[in-house]
Amino acid sequence: MVPDTSFSKRLRKYLLDISSTIDKEYYPAILGLALSLAGRSDGSKISLISEQSEYLDLLVLAAKESKLPAPERIVYAKGESLIFDLNQFDPCFREALPDSDSGSHLPGSDSGSHLTDPDSGSHLADPDSGSHLTDSDFISKSSLSRQMFLGHTFLACGSLADPNIQFSLEWQVATEEAAKALKSKLDTWSLNPGLTSRKRIHVLYIKSGESIADFLIMCGATDLLLELVDIRVKREVSAGVNRLMNCDEANSNRQVDTAARQLTAIRYIAAKIGLSVLPDNLRLAAEARLAAPELSIKELGEHMEPPIGKSGMNHRLRKLEEIAEDLRQEEQ
């Protein structure tokens, strides 16, 4: 029996459950990843909308533990939004967010900034490394493990269709830059998603049941993986049965057409010259076909006295068709 709760919702619940044990040092990376993938910037504000109240609770906690400003939270009829003031972000955190699709930098950003404040409490990079923070660092240079990274990309903007209906895993990403960075990251793990756009939303998608199973393995979602594998096996068996049925139907249609052609030839011979003038082997074959038009050639041969093989029976029936064709030619 398929559980009532959707596959996608159960995956989200699992990912949120394991997120409750994440070390606080990863909170900046989690919040930055969410805003990079699903955040919409508008002037000095960046907002993130979700129907998952528990996920937004996690992001609010992540902001608090990362010593980042608390967001404004607005509740709608369907979902909620978190609105952050970009000007209140630490410069290094703001720098690591991707540009908007317009190509302009986020307010207050400076692509040449260094992370030089070792006391900021941020875990974005090593202050002693001298490295620059560039756009999409929360994606391309994430400090999260593969399991955490994949899980939080799904929580931020992912969806998984009911595998009983279709195999479809998607990420709906806010900006082209972030979508390309995410695709590059997923490609390194051989997930190889496609990339397209729908109404200004950049969509990464996977349609392969095997690749979706790999994704669940990487997320550690064992129970859902086993369910998916069971569904895949059932679908493959069902597809195999359908192919066999279609093949049987095609064979049956060919058998009917062949028998009809043979009956026409035999009746034509009977009407023109009579079956009695035929050699005994052909006469007996003709009489057997007239008596059992529903049998296959193999079955017809088995009913002969003595029984003959399929090739022998087929040879006699073809000879009858040739005789009928010769008679038609003579008549013309």
Range scoring the smallest mean pLDDT among 15-19, 62-66, 243-247: 243-247
Q: Where are the domains of the chain?
A: 7-112+121-220, 249-331
Q: State the pLDDT at residue 107.
A: 39
Secondary structure (3-state) at 46: strand
Q: State the pLDDT at residue 6.
A: 87
Range scoring the smallest mean pLDDT among 154-158, 194-198, 213-217, 246-250: 246-250
Q: How confident is the model at residue 241 (pLDDT cuts 50, 70, 90)?
A: low
CA separation for the pair 133, 120 (Å, rounded): 15
**Strands 45-50 vs 80-85: parallel, antiparallel or unpaired:** antiparallel
Whether the predicted pLDDT of 302 surpasses 80: yes
Whether the predicted pLDDT of 238 surpasses 80: no
From residue 308, alpha-carbon distances to 256, 315, 316 in Å are 21, 11, 11
Domain boundaries 7-112+121-220, corresponding CATH code: 3.10.28.10
Cβ-in-10-Å burial (0-12, 13-18, 19+) of 36 comes to: buried
Whether the predicted pLDDT of 103 surpasses 60: no
Q: How many CB atoms lie within 10 A of CB 18?
A: 14
Proportion of the chain above pLDDT 90, given as a percent: 52
Q: State the pLDDT at residue 1.
A: 39
- Encoded tokens for 144: 């999260």
CA separation for the pair 213, 232 (Å, rounded): 10
Proportion of the chain above pLDDT 70, given as a percent: 83
Q: State the pLDDT at residue 146.
A: 96
Taking a C-beta distance cutoff of 8 angstroms, is the pair 286, 266 a contact?
A: yes
Taking a C-beta distance cutoff of 8 angstroms, is the pair 290, 278 a contact?
A: no
The amino acid that residue 30 corresponds to is I
Secondary structure (3-state) at 74: strand
CA separation for the pair 30, 17 (Å, rounded): 15
Q: What is the pLDDT of residues 4-45, one digit of tens each?
A: 468 899 999 999 999 988 899 999 999 999 999 999 988 889
Mean of the per-residue pLDDT values for the chain?
83
From residue 79, alpha-carbon distances to 49, 51, 268 in Å are 7, 4, 78
Cα-Cα-Cα-Cα dihedral of 196, 199, 200, 204, to 10°?
Answer: -30
Whether the predicted pLDDT of 168 surpasses 60: yes
| Residues paired with 87 in a beta bridge | none
Q: How confident is the model at residue 133 (pLDDT cuts 50, 70, 90)?
A: very low
Whether the predicted pLDDT of 203 surpasses 50: yes
- Encoded tokens for 72: 């404004």
Whether the predicted pLDDT of 139 surpasses 50: yes
Q: How confident is the model at residue 136 (pLDDT cuts 50, 70, 90)?
A: low
Q: State the pLDDT at residue 46.
A: 92
Query: pTM above 0.95?
Result: no
Q: State the pLDDT at residue 121.
A: 37
Q: What is the pLDDT of residues 276-293, one digit of tens each?
A: 999 999 999 999 988 888
